[in-house]
Amino acid sequence: MPSLRTIRHIIFYSVLTWLLYGLLPVTIPALYETFDNPNTLLIRRQECGCLCAEGVIVAGTLVIPDSLQSFFPRGFHGSEISLSEFPPFDVTMEHIETFDFANYNQFIVKGQVVGIDTIYCDSLSAEIAPLFKVDDWSLTSYYPRFLRFHDLPLLGYLASWTFSAITVLIFVGMRLIRR
């Protein structure tokens, strides 16, 4: 039978590990990217409510393969792209907290244009955007993991911080009273 002290240590280190895990970044921020390589792009989420591409190119050069150049007879001069295989933009209404992650961060993406995405099409016109397959991505800033937790784990995480703070205050208060 483990002693009370052993049980307290196990609980303490388990809670400490949980709290520190939540503070880890989602990805290691790529702070020093120069965007000299083609198809290395700094993107942000599109902020329109109408039909539009998912991402906006903030920096970098998008290279469209020769086989797709015919879709852009005057060349691609826009800044909107559709992204495939990019988890931050694959959000559903059941996990609404993921919208903040995608909307309030900029991402560095690396990949290639693999096709054309039709944004809208009617009898008079059509709007298309390059379809960019993401091979690798990273954030440009720190974003803690606990902000990506879903409802119940997030509540548990915040409760852990609250109870830990209360426990530390009681412990420090008792030490001060004993002096």
| Phi and psi, residue 17, nearest 5° | -60, -45
- The whole-angstrom separation of Cα 12 and Cα 55 is 43
Band of the pLDDT at 116, cuts 50, 70, 90? confident
40 has pLDDT over 80? yes
pLDDT at 166: 85
User: What phi and psi values does residue 124 have, to the nearest 5 degrees?
Assistant: -100, -35
Say if residue 2's pLDDT is above 60: yes
pLDDT band at 49 (very low <50, low <70, confident <90, very high): low
Length of the chain (residues): 179
pLDDT tens-digit profile of 7-37? 877 888 887 887 888 778 777 766 677 788 8
For all residues of the chain together, what is the average pLDDT? 79
pLDDT (tens digit, 9 = 90+) per residue, 54-88? 888 888 888 888 888 777 766 676 788 888 888 77
Mean pLDDT for 76-101 is 70
- Sign, CA torsion 20/25/31/36: positive
pLDDT in tens, 165-175: 888 888 788 88
Residue 95 reports pLDDT greater than 70: no
Q: What's the predicted TM-score (pTM) here?
A: 0.66
